[in-house]
Chains A and B, each alone.
Chain A
Amino acid sequence: MSDLISRVVYPSLVFFVLILLWQFGAERSLFPAYILPAPSTIALRVWSTAPIMFGHAIVTTLEIMCGFVLAIFLGVFLAWMLAYVRLFNQAFYPWLVFIQVLPKVALGPLLVVWIGVGFLPKALVSFLLAFFPVMIDTLAGLKSVQRDYVFLLRSMGASRLKRFLYFELPHALPYIFASLKVAITLAVVGAIVGEFIGADRGLGYVLIVATGTMDTVLIFVALVWISILSLLLYALVCLFDRFFVSWHAAARHDQIRDAA
């Protein structure tokens, strides 16, 4: 019961108190509506624009998912190459780090010139932002393999592929999922910023349009949708995490209990 209070009731209380203060301030005109419209106004607009906004949200979600999934596969694949192909590591690791050091959203305009303002450049910016943490964490996971495990599997005559599928990949899964929690939020940023650069649909496009017309309420509406979308995607990753690496949490919990 006390657990429920601390985890649900307190945070909700903070939320409602802030909203109430905000509403109160707006009604007393403590700040102009074009800077900070009342929560009730925003809520009504969210409701009235829901069908249109839903369409934009779908577009942005698809861009995010596309970039995110690509980031997972390419991130894991590149990590595998870096961990096990020495020449690849020597030749490419510095360049992969260099790409990370670049502000990747700055590549957005170039992508627009190359492949237009459609779906693809947004997914690519999303991918560019998301893939690096996946690659680095997966690499850390693969490199944390102990020598004796490799000896054990080699003595069993396990092929390279089997060693990866049966041991190295599951061993790295907790690392991979930790990185995915970072990557999914970056993927959202990538898609929105991609839409800033040039788009005719999507939540980022709505933000740009709302800014152009000084429609502060619409900006808030878009922010509400982006927040909900981010939260849902993050929750989805956590759900997969629980499902695929439940053994890790359980084993870890056991170690902590033993240590206590």
Chain B
Amino acid sequence: MRPDSQSPAVLNSHVALKDVAKAYGKGNKAISALEGVTLDISRGEFLSILGPSGCGKSTLLMMIAGLLVPSHGMIEVAQRPVTRPLTDVGIAFQQDLLFDWRTVLGNVMLQADMRDLDRNAARAKAQILLERVGLKGFENRRPWELSGGMRQRVAICRALLHDSSILLLDEPFGALDALTRDHMNLHLQNLWMLERPTAIMVTHSISEAVFLSDRVIVFSRRPGRVVYELPIELPRPRTVEMRDASEFVRFQHQLRQAIEVPQ
């Protein structure tokens, strides 16, 4: 056992990235999506990744999930290297990816069907989750009867059904308008605080990142690398009013500057 493995920080580490890089293509035509990313994410932490389009943020998320393979470096989850798709994970994508042939409840239950979970327990959990995000009474509706915001809430409930220890959010509210988005942030915080999984979210919205996160990191343009890191020390649960607080505004300001002036 390594001596430093006794220190609390390391024990607490849940997702660790060591000098991770990803390039698409081969030889001279290879395009480097991200380079030299080293990160340590603690158990139960909510981390957001901000950065310009195409800086490899989503790629990073998919590599943590074991769905894409890094070209270089190593990713560890719970001190084990990721070598195949993680299953102790819930993912919400930019598109809601709901199945048109399933009802709202059926879409959340997909998670249980794929994992052979106990159906009754899963159904009860699904109903609790849907109720939490204001979708009680919509269980038997079909996805096309719902608004974009409602659809994305269903997708997040689906990602949380199985109590996984990691929640990956790939710009889940990117397609929504600003007002709906603020509302969705509250819903997401609400759901996340139920079980407090380790959450990693990719976003373009500075205010969303500050509102939800314990820590925000900023990526540079392609090839993406970490250029700035900001702990968000605000009490939870965070409220709508806090968005106007001077601290909140200051965090936003710091992040905006970090994005505009990459090192």
Contacts and interface: CB of A to CB of B under 8 A. Distances in A.
A173 B100 CA distance: 12
B93 interface: yes
Contacts of A146: 95, 97
Contacts of A162: 113-114
Contacts of B65: 151, 155
A215 interface: no
B191 interface: no
A151 B67 contact: yes
Interface string A39-79: 00000000000000000000000000000000000000000
Nearest to B94: A148
A156 interface: yes
Contacts of A152: 91, 93, 97
A156 B97 contact: no
Contacts of B113: 162, 166
Contact of A156 (B93, B115, B142): B115
A167 interface: yes
Interface string B11-34: 000000000000000000000000
7 contacts: A151-B62, A152-B91, A155-B90, A157-B115, A247-B142, A250-B142, A251-B142
A88 interface: no
Contacts of A151: 62, 65, 67, 91, 93
Interface in B41-68: 62, 65, 67
Given A166-B110, A170-B101, A156 B95 contact: no
A158 interface: yes
Contacts of B185: none
B100 A155 contact: no
A58 B139 CA distance: 46
A149 interface: yes
Interface centre among B67, B89, B144 (most CB of A within 10 A): B144
Most interface-central of B90, B95, B99, B114 (chain A CB within 10 A): B114
B100 A156 contact: no
Nearest to B68: A151
Contacts of A200: none
B86 interface: yes
Given A151-B62, A162-B114, A167-B99, A157 B87 contact: yes
Q: Counting chain B CB atoms within 10 Å of each CB, which of A151, A167, A173, A254 scores highest? A: A151
A156 B110 CA distance: 9
A247 B93 CA distance: 22
A167 B91 CA distance: 17
A155 B63 CA distance: 12
A255 B65 CA distance: 32
Taking chain A's interface residues, is the majority helix, strand, or loop, or is none over half, making it mixed? helix
Interface string A134-164: 0000000000001011011111111000100
A247 B101 contact: yes
B144 A251 contact: yes
Contacts of B110: 156, 166
A201 interface: no
A155 B97 contact: no
A-B pairs with the 5 shortest C-beta distances?
A: A156-B114, A157-B87, A158-B114, A254-B144, A251-B144
B85 interface: yes
Nearest to A148: B93
Nearest to A150: B67
Nearest to A162: B114
Contacts of B111: 156
Contact of A148 (B95, B100, B142, B144): B95
B143 interface: yes
Interface in A220-237: none
- Which residue of A146, A157, A250 has the most chain B CB atoms within 10 A of its CB atom? A157
B144 to A, nearest CB: 4
Given A162-B114, A166-B114, A170-B99, A155 B86 contact: yes
Interface in B192-233: none
Contacts of A255: 144
Contacts of B86: 155
Contact of A251 (B62, B89, B93, B143): B143
B87 A155 contact: yes
B97 A247 contact: no
Interface string A233-260: 0000000000001011011001100000
